[in-house]
Chains A and B, each alone.
Chain A
Amino acid sequence: MRLKQGSFLWYLYLDKLYCLLSVRNVRALLEYFHLLDVHHNNTLNDVLFYHFLHHVTSWKRTQIMIVFNMLDWNAMGEIGFDQFYMLVCILLAQQNHLEEQFIFRHSRPVFELLDLDGELRIGPDNFHMYNFLFNIKKQDLKELYHDFDITGDRRLNYKEFKLFTIFTMDKYQERQKAEKDEEKGKKDLLKKKRLHQVNVSLKQFLGINVSESRI
């Protein structure tokens, strides 16, 4: 999923550490929400919500309605600003490839969102349904249930899910570090090549001068 370039959400900035918006950004988002809240209920109904997401994301109708049903946890048929804010943070986290960070930082709300039935446990179906939202890969899902299903009921309670988020976060940080080291390695290599070239050209220059002076 990519946010539409140049849209209002595209300009918002998600704090990379806490995966939240600043108060200033929230203030702007609140203003935006009020522009869409045409019925002055401090909510968006399903039609307005659909058109909003359809305009700013590349999601299909089914995906948008899945998100709506997920956020409409009171089953009111409307989304308030709290849920809207959470959705925007999820969208921005996805846009900035911060899904792991987001799940780690907000494991409780994410768990509660995935726990559709309120059983305090989430099964693989829950993850599959929201795969497009949190970008959890199939392989990671297999590992998740293999390594973290401590109770063995093929579902995760909150503690098991929290362990998973910590593990995923560690992997993410290791990946970041590896990418950084690789980049640094490339830069060092480039530096060495340039130094070598400079040395060669210097030697050539000096070599020519020495031969000229002999003559």
Chain B
Amino acid sequence: MEEKPYKASLGSHGSDISSPDNDIRNLWTRATLSQPNLNVPRSRVGEDSDMEGSSSGTKSRRWYNQKARRDSDGGWEEWDDGEDKESFRQEDLDEPSLLELELRRAGSLRSRLEEEEDLGAGLGALGHLSLLLPLQLPLPLMELMENEALEILTKALRSYRSGIGRDHFLTKQLHGCIEGLKRRRSKRLNILGH
């Protein structure tokens, strides 16, 4: 992993974690946040496309779409209060170079990914989101997510078994998902080992 020229701040999380993995995660989750003057063509930035919210009667969708409309209206609002600057130490780095760094990394990670998940089927109200934003999550983030999901699902499996039994199709379905995650994890570890 490339060394960062600055130490990314977790902002309101409190303690600073200096490992490159965590810096990259911070960089990824907070890059392009509140950058109203970013002049990067849409074709170059696959992830930052505007989102069209679907209209429906439910309160949550109204709330979520309000946020989406705000995004499509002009991207990020300029922050006019200085108190937020201390949590944005990434301003130490130029915004274009930050984005460039990230795009380069995303490109190299993409080429390393062996398979993409099929996200087209059955995504519900926010299904269009995955179509607009192709899967470009950094590998360390994916690993973190999968490991955590594995822990949660393993505990859920115990509840399923005690609640509805081992032979119930839902228990088997959950068990199958857990096995799939374990296989992906071991595959990834094998790749990294080589």
Closest-CB distance, A182 to chain B (whole angstroms): 14
Is B28 within 8 A of A81, CB to CB? no
Taking CB atoms and an 8 Å cut-off, the chain A residues in 97-141 that contact chain B are: 97, 106, 108-109, 112
Is A18 within 8 A of B70, CB to CB? yes
Closest-CB distance, B55 to chain A (whole angstroms): 13
Tell me if A58 counts as interface (CB < 8 A to partner B).
no
* Surface stretch bound by B, among A38-46, A163-171, A188-196, A206-214: A38-46
Is A39 within 8 A of B170, CB to CB? yes
Interface 1/0 per residue, A22-42 and B, CB below 8 Å: 111111101110111011111
Interface 1/0 per residue, A63-78 and B, CB below 8 Å: 0000000000100000
Closest-CB distance, A57 to chain B (whole angstroms): 12
Which residue of B33, B145, B152 contacts A52 across the interface (Cβ within 8 Å)?
A: B152
Count residues of chain A with CB under 8 A from any CB of chain B: 53
* Surface stretch bound by A, among B36-44, B107-115, B118-126, B186-194: B118-126
Tell me if B18 counts as interface (CB < 8 A to partner A).
no
Interface 1/0 per residue, B149-176 and A, CB below 8 Å: 1011101100110010000001001100
A42 CA to B122 CA, complexed, in Å:
7
Inter-chain pairs besides A8-B144, A18-B67, 19 sampled, C-beta below 8 Å: A8-B141, A13-B29, A13-B33, A16-B84, A23-B51, A27-B47, A31-B135, A35-B146, A36-B149, A39-B174, A42-B124, A47-B160, A51-B155, A55-B152, A80-B124, A96-B12, A96-B13, A97-B12, A108-B59
Residue of B nearest to A4 (CB): B148
Which residue of A17, A23, A31, A54 contacts B71 across the interface (Cβ within 8 Å)?
A: A23
B-side residues, CB < 8 A to A, are: 11-13, 22, 25-26, 28-34, 47-49, 51, 58-64, 67, 70-71, 77, 79, 83-84, 87, 117, 119, 122-126, 129-130, 133, 135, 137, 141-142, 144-146, 148-149, 151-153, 155-156, 159-160, 163, 170, 173-174, 177, 181
Tell me if A180 counts as interface (CB < 8 A to partner B).
yes
Q: Which residues of B contact A180 (CB under 8 A)?
A: 83
Of listed A24, A25, A108, residue having the most chain B CB within 10 A: A24
Tell me if A7 counts as interface (CB < 8 A to partner B).
yes
Is A38 within 8 A of B33, CB to CB? no
Is A80 within 8 A of B125, CB to CB? yes
Is A11 within 8 A of B29, CB to CB? yes
Is B124 within 8 A of A109, CB to CB? no
Residue of B nearest to A41 (CB): B122
Closest-CB distance, A115 to chain B (whole angstroms): 10
**What is the interface of chain A mostly: helix, strand, loop, or mixed?**
helix
Is B156 within 8 A of A48, CB to CB? yes
Q: Which residues of A contact B122 (CB under 8 A)?
A: 40-42
* Surface stretch bound by B, among A82-90, A146-154, A197-205: A82-90
A17 CA to B81 CA, complexed, in Å:
10
Is A10 within 8 A of B13, CB to CB? yes
A selection of 22 A-B contacts at a CB cut-off of 8 Å is: A8-B148, A13-B11, A13-B29, A18-B70, A18-B77, A22-B29, A23-B129, A24-B29, A28-B141, A31-B142, A36-B149, A39-B170, A48-B152, A48-B153, A48-B156, A51-B152, A51-B155, A73-B59, A82-B126, A95-B12, A96-B12, A112-B59
Residue of A nearest to B49 (CB): A23
Query: Given A11-B25, A81-B125 in contact, is the A24-B63 Cβ separation under 8 Å?
Result: no
A73 CA to B62 CA, complexed, in Å:
14
Q: Which residues of B contact A28 (CB under 8 A)?
A: 29, 137, 141, 145
Is A86 within 8 A of B174, CB to CB? no
Closest-CB distance, B90 to chain A (whole angstroms): 11
Is A30 within 8 A of B33, CB to CB? no
Query: Given A7-B148, A28-B141, A51-B156 in contact, is the A82-B58 Cβ separation under 8 Å?
Result: yes
Which residue of B77, B125, B152 contacts A82 across the interface (Cβ within 8 Å)?
A: B125
